[in-house]
Amino acid sequence: MRIDVLTLFPDFFAASAEVGVVGRAIRGGLLDLQCHNPRDFTVDKHRRVDDRTFGGGPGMVMQVEPLRAALAEVRAMAAAPALVVYLSPQGERLTQRRVRLLAGLPRLLLLCGRYEGVDERLVTREVDLELSIGDYVLSGGELAAAVLIDAVGRLQEGALNRSESASQDSFEDGLLDCPHYSRPEQDAYGAVPEVLMSGDHRAIQRWRRQQSLGRTWLRRPDLLSRITLSGEDRRLLEEFRLQWAEQKNAVRS
């Protein structure tokens, strides 16, 4: 997969391109990340990319021309068609489902806004998808782009090793992930749940599924309402609810 990023701060991506899973994916040739500064596509000597907002008021706007020129040149740098994504607080919310869809594409071209954002005419004519990483306002699209790059990068075939497998992560099957524990078995903060030490793989699988269901019910009931539970899932969740109510009562009394 190739990802081109149009950003006024290309250096922003240097560290995240070197470390962890995404760094490994880039080094292994699974992900080709290229950053481009719109200033390099300007023709005036001041390399200007922004101007005042029409209608008055504070703030600058990223202008059409430098971005149009940059988009045209960057598109032509590779043969694969690019989906142009503008990171914007006004975009559709980024979800794991959308990440999976984007991770399967050959090429993304990410546009990072600054100031008041990008001239609306460029957004209307050039952008295929506006994506938001949440209902808050960042000072620039770079952090949002880095989030997207990480999320799609780790899903590239071969990017994760087995122990980091993505298939059981939160949201993959509509639920939150179960809790995880490692050594030591006993610690001042408590013991590891006994079933995880039993070696009984069916029982472990059952416990993990139940924890996933229970956690989702406790923390993100909105997710539960979007999926259809099997009869076994409903039984596991009911059992979890009863245990949870008992524990709550025990703490109170």
Tell me whether residue 116 is one of the annotated catalytic residues.
yes
- As a whole number of angstroms, the distance between CA 125 and CA 114 comes to 19
Which residue in the list 65, 130, 150, 169 is annotated as catalytic? 169
Contact between 17 and 145 under an 8 Å Cβ cutoff? The reply is no
Which residue in the list 24, 114, 154, 209 is annotated as catalytic? 154
Tell me whether residue 193 is one of the annotated catalytic residues.
no
Q: Which is nearer to ligand SAM, 31 or 112 (CB)?
A: 112
**Minimal CB distance to ligand SAM: which residue?**
113
Q: Which is nearer to ligand SAM, 11 or 200 (CB)?
A: 11
Return residues touching ligand SAM (CB under 6 A): 87-90, 112-114, 116-117, 132-134, 136-141, 144
Q: Residues 183-192: contacts with CB within 8 Å, 24+ apart?
A: none
Q: Which is nearer to ligand SAM, 125 or 235 (CB)?
A: 125
Tell me whether residue 221 is one of the annotated catalytic residues.
no
Q: Residues 100-105: contacts with CB within 8 Å, 24+ apart?
A: 100/155, 102/148, 102/152, 103/1, 103/151, 103/152, 103/155, 103/156, 105/1
Q: Which is nearer to ligand SAM, 23 or 89 (CB)?
A: 89
Tell me whether residue 169 is one of the annotated catalytic residues.
yes
Which residue in the list 10, 65, 68, 89 is annotated as catalytic? 89
- As a whole number of angstroms, the distance between CA 202 and CA 206 comes to 6
Which residue in the list 65, 116, 172, 233 is annotated as catalytic? 116
User: What would the two tokens of residue 78 be?
Assistant: 């590779």
